[in-house]
Amino acid sequence: MKQMKIIKRSGQEVAFDISKIENAIRKASNAVDPIDALSEDRIRLIAKEVAGVCEARDRAMTVEEIQDVVENKIMELGSRVIAKKYIVYRYQRQLVRKANTTDAAILSLIECNNEDVKQENSNKNPSINSVQRDYMAGEVSKDVASRLLLPADVVQAHREGIIHFHDMDYYAQHMHNCDLVNLEDMLQNGTVISGTMIEKPRSFSTACNIATQIIAQVASNQYGGQSISLTHLAPFVEVSRQAIRQALKEECSFAGVEMSVEAFDAIVEKRVRKEIQKGVQTIQYQVVTLMTTNGQAPFVTVYMYLGEARNAQERNDLAIIIEEVLNERIRGVKNEQGVFVTPAFPKLIYVLEEQNVREGSPYWYLTELAARCTAKRMVPDYISEKKMREYKLSKGETAGHGDTYTCMGCRSFLTPDRSGNGYGNVANAGNYEPGKPKYYGRFNQGVVTINLVDVALSAHGDMKLFWDVFGERCELCHKALRCRHERLLGTPSDAAPILWQYGALARLKKGDKIDKLLYGGYSTISLGYAGLWECVFAMTGKKLTEPEGEAFGLEVMQKLNEYTAKWKAAEDIDYSLYGTPLESTTYKFAKCLQKRFGVIKGVTDKNYITNSYHIHVTEKIDAFKKLEIESKFQRLSPGGAISYVEVPNMQDNIPAVLSIMQYIYENIMYAELNTKSDYCQVCGYDGEIQIVRDESGKLIWKCPKCGNTDESKLNVARRTCGYIGSQFWNQGRTQEIKERVLHVS
C-alpha cells in the first residue's frame, strides 16, 4: 500500500494510520451488547476496506470523509447497531470540538501546516507573517460570518459545496470585491494618501510613482482585483516633454550651444524615452515588490488601449508607454539568484483594434511585440475591440458601436452604462463628462457561485427535476447575494477614504454612505457558475463539443441570464452572470461532489471541476475550434469570462501566435494564450518543471534535470484562473494543470 496522507480538521496533513480506524471501530464495538460485537478479524477487515477506498480516491482525504466511509463499511460488513454507536460517538466528539475549531485552524496557520490554506491562493506565501495575519483574521471572520451574519441555509450550502460564498473571510468587514480605478481623476485633480495631499504630478515618472501608491492603497481596502489604464498616464508624457524642452533650452543657452531644430527635437525625444522607461520600471518593480496588508503583491491589471487616447499626440505617447511596458515584461524580474523570471503581476491586457491588428496598420509593431511577450511571459491577454463593441451597448448604442473597456482583475466585467451619461455623476467624480458612458470608478459588490455539477447529479437524470433544483439553487444564490449587497448598505465613506472620498471610486463627503453607488447599475453583483462541462455530460451523456451537449449548455446559460435579469428588474441592482475563476474551490467542489455522489466517470472522477463554460482540459481540440465554440458561451456570460488556448513554447513561432491573436479579434471578446515559464534555482534549468507523484501519491513539482522538489527553490508560473499564479496550488488545481492538453501542436 502506498504511503497515504489524511487532512485533519485543523487542516494539517499527516500520515494515514490504519490503527486509528481499527481503534475507532473497536470502541464502537465494545459499546454494544457482546452478542452484537465484532470480532478482531472483522474489525481489521473493515479497516482494510476503508483504507482501500482511501487509496482509490487518489488524494488526501479529510477525517470527516474517512469517517463517512467507516460508517458505510461497518453497515456493509458489520452491524447497523455498531454503526449507530459510531455515529453517536462522532456527534458527541463534534460537540466537544465545536467550540475550538477556529482556535485549532488558527494554530495550524501559525505553524504553516494547514494544507488547505497553504495552497488556497497561488499568489500568497503562507509562511510570511503578513499572510498569516490575514489568514488568521480570515478564520475569525469566517467564524463570525457563519455563526452570526449569514443565514443557516446559505452557510450549510456553502459547506456542502452546493454553492460557494466567495471571500467569506472578508465578509464581516464592509468591503467590496473589485473595480476600475479612476486614475485619471486622481492624477489630474489630486488625491489624499494616508492623510497627505497629493497634487497633480509634474512629470511622467512622478505620475507612475503616485499610481503605484494608489494601487497599494486600493488593494488594502478591498479583497479583489483592480484595473488601471495606461491612457490615464499618457498626458503626463507631454508634461515631461515640455519640461525637458525647457531644461534643454536653458542648458544650450548656458553653454552657448546652438543646434538645429531636428537635433534639438531628437535630444528631447531621447530624454522623453528615458523618462518613460523610468516610469514604467517604477510600475513594474513597485507592483512586484509592494506588499499589501493581506500579504501579497497588489492584484492589478494594466490596460493598454490605443482607442482611449483623445488625440493623435496622446495616442503616439500612449504607444511609446505600451512599447516600454511590453519590453519591460519580456525582460521579466530577477529572482533571488539574479535570474530573470516571469512575475505574476501586473496582469496586462492589450486591445486588438483596427489600428494594430493587421500587418501594415499603424501600430502593428506593438502587436508583434505583444506576441513576443505572450510567447515568453504569458501576458498580455487580449480583448477584441470589434467583438466588445458588438456586445457592450450603453443606453442608445447599437451593435458595432458599443463600448470597449477593461475587466476588473482577471475577468469580471461591468455591465454597460445603462444611463448612457455617466449616471449623472452620482460619484461626484472630478473628471465627469456629461453624455459620455462611465466605467472608471465603478465596482463589483461580490460573487456567489452555483455548482452546476451538483444540480445535475441531484436531478438523477430527470430533466424536470433538474430545472426544479436549478431554480431552487439560483434563488439560494440570490439570497446569498442579497446578503452581500445588504452588508455594504450603510457603509460610510470613512471606511475606505481612498476609495470613497479621494477619487479611486468616488468623491463623497465624510460621513456620506455609499448606498447610492449600489443601485441603478453603477456597480454590479455577480452570480457565478462553475462546472458547465460536467453538468451537461451528467444530464445528456454528451460533451459541450457535440451538438446536443452544446445546445443544452447554451440553454443552461440562457436560464442563468433570465434569473439575473429578473432580479435586476425587481431590485434595480445590476446582477450579472460571471464565469467563476475557480482556484482552491475547484478542489473543494470536487471533494464535496465525490462525498455526495461517489466517483462517476466523466463527472466526478477528477479532483477538480471545470471552470465556467470551458471545454475540459483533457479534450483534444485545436485552438481555433475551441475559441469558436467557447465564443457562444462567452457572449452569454456578460458579467465576465475569459477563454484560453494551451500552447507549447512559441518563442520561435511568433507568426502562429499572431494568427491566434487575429482569430481572437474576429471571433471572441476576451482570450489568452497559456504557455509555461519555469526555473530551477538548484541547477539553473529553465524548461518546464514537471508534475509527478511522490511515494504517497501526492502531486508534487519536480525539476526534470536535477530532481529538485523543494518548492522554495523552484520558480513556477502557470495561468490558473485568468491570471498567473506563482506560489503553487492545491491538489485539485495541480491535477488540472498536469492534465491540460495542447491546442496548438
pLDDT tens-digit map of 368-400: 999 999 999 999 999 999 999 999 999 999 999
Catalytic residue among 350, 363, 440, 578: 578
Q: Can you tell me whether residue 432 is helix, strand or coil?
A: coil
Q: Does residue 661 have an active-site annotation?
A: no
346-358 residue pLDDT tens: 999 999 999 999 9
Of 4, 178, 474, 483, which is the active-site residue?
Answer: 178
pLDDT of 741 over the 70 cut: yes
Start-to-end CA span in the chain (Å) = 38
One of 583, 630, 672, 736 is an active-site residue; which one? 583
Is 98 a residue whose pLDDT tops 60?
no
- Residue 348 forms beta bridges with which residues? 302
User: Of residues 294, 412, 458, 526, which has the active-site annotation?
Assistant: 412
Q: Given this model, what pLDDT does residue 536 score?
A: 98
177 is catalytic: yes
State the average pLDDT for the chain: 90
Question: pLDDT per residue over 186-213, tens digit each?
Answer: 999 999 998 999 999 999 999 999 999 9
CA distance 720 to 622: 20
- b/e per residue 174-204 (b: at least 16 CB within 10 A): ebbbbbbbbbbbbbbbbbebeeeebeebebb
The predicted pLDDT at position 555 comes to: 98
What predicted TM-score, i.e. pTM, was given to this entire model?
Answer: 0.85
pLDDT > 90 fraction of the chain, expressed in percent and rounded: 68
pLDDT band at 617 (very low <50, low <70, confident <90, very high): very high
Report the distance separating Cα 382 and Cα 373, nearest Å: 12
Per-residue pLDDT of 291-306, as tens digits, reads 555 556 778 999 999 9
Predicted pLDDT of residue 351 = 98
| Span 537-558, average pLDDT | 98
Q: Is the pLDDT of residue 103 over 70?
A: no
- What's the average model confidence in pLDDT over 551-572? 98
Q: Is the pLDDT of residue 96 over 60?
A: no
Q: What is the mean pLDDT of residues 272-290?
A: 92
Percent of the chain beyond pLDDT 70? 91
Q: Average of pLDDT values for 63-73?
A: 83
Q: Does residue 69 or residue 553 have the better pLDDT?
A: 553
C-alpha cell at 72: 458505510
pLDDT of residue 304: 98
Q: From CA 497, how far away is CA 505, in angstroms rounded? A: 10
* Rounded average pLDDT over 96-122: 53
pLDDT band of residue 112 (cuts 50, 70, 90) is low
- Assign 122 a pLDDT band (cuts: 50, 70, 90): very low
Tell me the pLDDT tens digit for each residue of 395-445: 999 999 999 999 997 789 999 999 999 999 999 999 999 999 999 999 999
CATH architecture, domain 409-491+500-645? Alpha-Beta Barrel (3.20)
Residue of 304, 388, 407, 408 marked active site: 408
Whether residue 174 is predicted with pLDDT greater than 50 in this model: the reply is yes
The pLDDT of residue 390 is 98
Q: Is 523 part of the annotated catalytic residue set?
A: no
Catalytic residue among 10, 177, 612, 708: 177
Give domain limits for the chain: 5-149, 178-379, 409-491+500-645, 676-745
d(CA 268, CA 656): 38
Decide if 221 is catalytic. no
**477 given a catalytic annotation:** no
Angle between the 80-98 and 63-77 helix axes, to the nearest 10 degrees?
160
Set 378, 407, 410, 477: catalytic member: 410
Burial classification of residue 357, based on how many CB atoms lie within 10 Å of its CB (0-12 exposed, 13-18 middle, 19 or more buried): buried
Residue 699 has pLDDT above 80, yes or no: yes
128 has pLDDT over 80: no
Is 178 tagged catalytic? yes
Task: Say which of 531, 639, 722, 732 is annotated catalytic.
Answer: 722
pLDDT of the residue at 622:
96
408: annotated active-site residue: yes
How far apart (Å, rounded) are the C-alpha atoms in residues 27 and 42?
14
Neighbours of 330 (CB within 10 A): 16
Catalytic residue among 121, 141, 146, 444: 444
